[in-house]
Amino acid sequence: MKLKHTAIALILGLFIYLSFYSWNLRSGQLDRLADYTGLEIVKWSLWPGEWVHDRSVDFLDRYVYLVGLKQTNDRLSSQNDLMRLEIMTLREKAEEAGRLQALLHFSPVEGWYVDGARVIAHRMGPSAALDSIIISKGSVSGVLPDTPVLTPLGIVGRVVQPGLSASKAMLITDLNSRISVRGQLHRSTGLLSGTGEGEILNVKYMKLNAPVSEGEILVTSGLAGLYPPGLPVAKVTSVERSDISLFLKVEAVPLVDMENTEEILLLHRNATSNSTSAGVN
Amino acid sequence: MLSVAWWTVFTIAGIWAQRFVPGVDFLAPGLLLCIQLERKTLFFWLLIVWSLIQEGLGGLPFGYSILWYSSIVALYRCGAMFFDVQSLMFAILCGAGLGILHPLLIGMMAVLADMQWTADRYFLEGVLQFLIFPLEWAFLKYIYPERLKHEFSA
């Protein structure tokens, strides 16, 4: 009799679980609930410790060690980051201008604006199946799913689950990450895919006759619409031609040190460009 | 009230521990302790809050933590038929069960969500879970205040 009751309870439990699982897959309501509650609890649990850590490190750096030198270094370092980003943008624009001179109709790149955020934590918890980071901004700051995450050095990944004031972003090293890229010099296109934490990246579907060289920087192509074109992503480390494949075997390394990144930039579309594209669509 | 404060501090400590050891659940031993203390109301609330935390942190569609924490209940129920479920030996068996279950559950959920995954990482995390679970459980049992065992027992 007890066995019968256990079996009924088990089947009923499984039925309810699968019903909720299927409903959530379709609607995403439970995922949103978890993002808006669980992620918030984690953020506010970690925040006091992070704050104390930051303040103590800051105090030690500024007042115990090299006071003036550290401040100058901080200022120059932040200036350097901004200039690096500017150089990257200008380089891309210069390359682009050369190519576009031949074109009659030039459609400008959609407008984006940048917002800063902190990395609160890296992948954590038993159900963390993605190589991910948790960042300190969420939907109240305008973060949406697929918001690009980058540093002045290059692309880090994209937001997969935004919470209220914290979000989860998938890194480009994750197995499920795919980015449409092209070579900065030769403009050959391919699909950059992650192979796991700390592993090299693969560039798929780059044609056998495509010109690409070791050391070439891969930038976002903008073809998929998730990232604006021209942002640096990875550096080609090896190019192999195969006799049995239609495509090159290209390997690359990310430009950003994912493990030690503490601050990131979020790229948001300008409201005007959003409304324009909505109008066009 | 003190009980709520104790479990809140434990939850925060568990979240911090998870920050430093990715892939390992530091809250699960607390749930086993809660079942052993037969605190049904507290167990219910902890299950909800911790499930939301783990699901919020995870990258899979909602459902992993429900199965994960349900398996502790199932292990406890099955274990009660054969073992002394208050003993360290049972905590070791429970840790082993969860250690084996971790890669299997991640694999199953990843396949259901049509995601790619590599088994190696999760096997290693399973081993870590197996090692950490009984140690943390023993530590929790040691530090859990005697007076809280009788506070608003449900």
Phi, psi dihedral angles at A212 (to 5 degrees): -150, 140
Q: For residue A125, which residues of chain B lie inside 8 Å, CB to CB?
A: 18, 22-23, 25, 53-54, 57-58
**Chain B contact for A46, CB < 8 A?**
yes
Closest by CA to A115, choosing from A267, A279, A278, A271, is: A267
pLDDT tens for A100-116 read 565 444 344 467 888 88
pLDDT tens for A228-268 read 888 899 999 999 887 788 888 899 999 998 888 888 888 88
**Which conformational region is residue A196 in: left (phi greater than 0), alpha (psi within -120 to 50 degrees), or beta?**
left
Q: Where are the beta strands (DSSP E) in A136-173?
A: 148-151, 154-162, 167-171
Q: Which of B57, B68, B109 sits opposite A38 (nearest CB)?
A: B57
Q: Which residue has the higher pLDDT, B98 or A70?
A: B98
Residues 6+ away with beta carbon under 8 Å from A87: none
The mean of the pLDDT values for chain A is: 83
> Which residue in chain B is spatially nearest to A31 when comparing CA positions?
B62
Residue-level pLDDT at B154:
43
Flag if B15 and A45 touch (Cβ within 8 Å).
Answer: yes
CATH of A178-254, one of 2.40.10.350, 3.50.30.30, 1.10.3720.10, 3.30.565.10: 2.40.10.350
Measured CA to CA, the distance from residue A181 to residue A230 in angstroms comes to 9
Flag if A37 and B52 touch (Cβ within 8 Å).
Answer: yes
Q: In sequence order, what are the beta bridge partners of A234?
A: A218, A254
Look at chain B and report how many structural domains it folds into: 1
> Which residue in chain B is spatially nearest to A127 when comparing CA positions?
B58
Closest by CA to B124, choosing from B146, B99, B95, is: B99
Confidence of residue A67 (pLDDT cuts 50, 70, 90): low
ipTM value: 0.82
pLDDT tens for A107-153 read 444 678 888 888 999 988 888 888 999 999 999 998 999 999 988 88
Residue ranges making up the domain that contains B131: 2-150
Query: What proportions of chain B, in percent to the nearest 5, are helix, strand and coil?
Result: 80, 0, 20
Q: Which of B56, B115, B129 sits opposite A34 (nearest CB)?
A: B56
Q: What is the DSSP string of A176-233?
A: T-EEEEEETTT--EEEEE--STTSPEEEES-BTT----TTPEEEE--SSSSS-TT-EE
Question: Mean pLDDT over residues B97-126, rounded?
Answer: 90
Q: Give Cα A70 to chain centroid, integer Å.
A: 30
| Token pair listed for A128 | 């963390």
| Token pair listed for A276 | 């324009």
**Chain A contact for B66, CB < 8 A?**
yes
Domain boundaries, chain A: 2-62, 178-254
Residues 6+ away with beta carbon under 8 Å from B51: A34, B65, B66, B69
Measured CA to CA, the distance from residue B25 to residue B34 in angstroms comes to 15
Residue-level pLDDT at A276:
42
Question: Mean pLDDT over residues A210-216, rounded?
Answer: 87
Q: In chain B, what is the greatest distance between 2 CA atoms, to the nearest angstrom?
A: 48
Q: For residue B112, which residues of chain A lie inside 8 Å, CB to CB?
A: 21
Contact A148, A227 (CB under 8 A): yes
- Partner B, chain A 114-143, Cβ-Cβ below 8 Å: 121-130, 132, 134
Contact B52, A122 (CB under 8 A): no
Residue-level pLDDT at B92:
94
Query: In a mutagenesis test of the B interface, which of A3, A123, A127, A168 is the best target, namely the one with the most B β-carbons within 10 Å?
Result: A127
Q: For residue B101, which residues of chain A lie inside 8 Å, CB to CB?
A: none
Strand pairing class (A201-204; A217-220): unpaired
Q: For residue B25, which residues of chain A lie inside 8 Å, CB to CB?
A: 125-126
Contact A71, A62 (CB under 8 A): yes
> Which residue in chain A is spatially nearest to B125 when comparing CA positions?
A126
Measured CA to CA, the distance from residue A237 to residue A214 in angstroms comes to 5
**3-state SS class at A8:** helix
CA distance, residue A48 to nearest chain B CA (Å): 11
Measured CA to CA, the distance from residue A179 to residue A191 in angstroms comes to 6
Lowest mean pLDDT among A110-119, A213-222, B23-32, B62-71: A110-119
Residue-level pLDDT at A280:
33
Measured CA to CA, the distance from residue A181 to residue A188 in angstroms comes to 8
Task: Please give the DSSP secondary-structure letter assigned to residue A207.
Answer: B
pLDDT tens for A4-35 read 887 888 889 888 888 888 888 888 888 888 88
> Which residue in chain B is spatially nearest to A122 when comparing CA positions?
B19
Residue A278 pLDDT greater than 60, yes or no: no
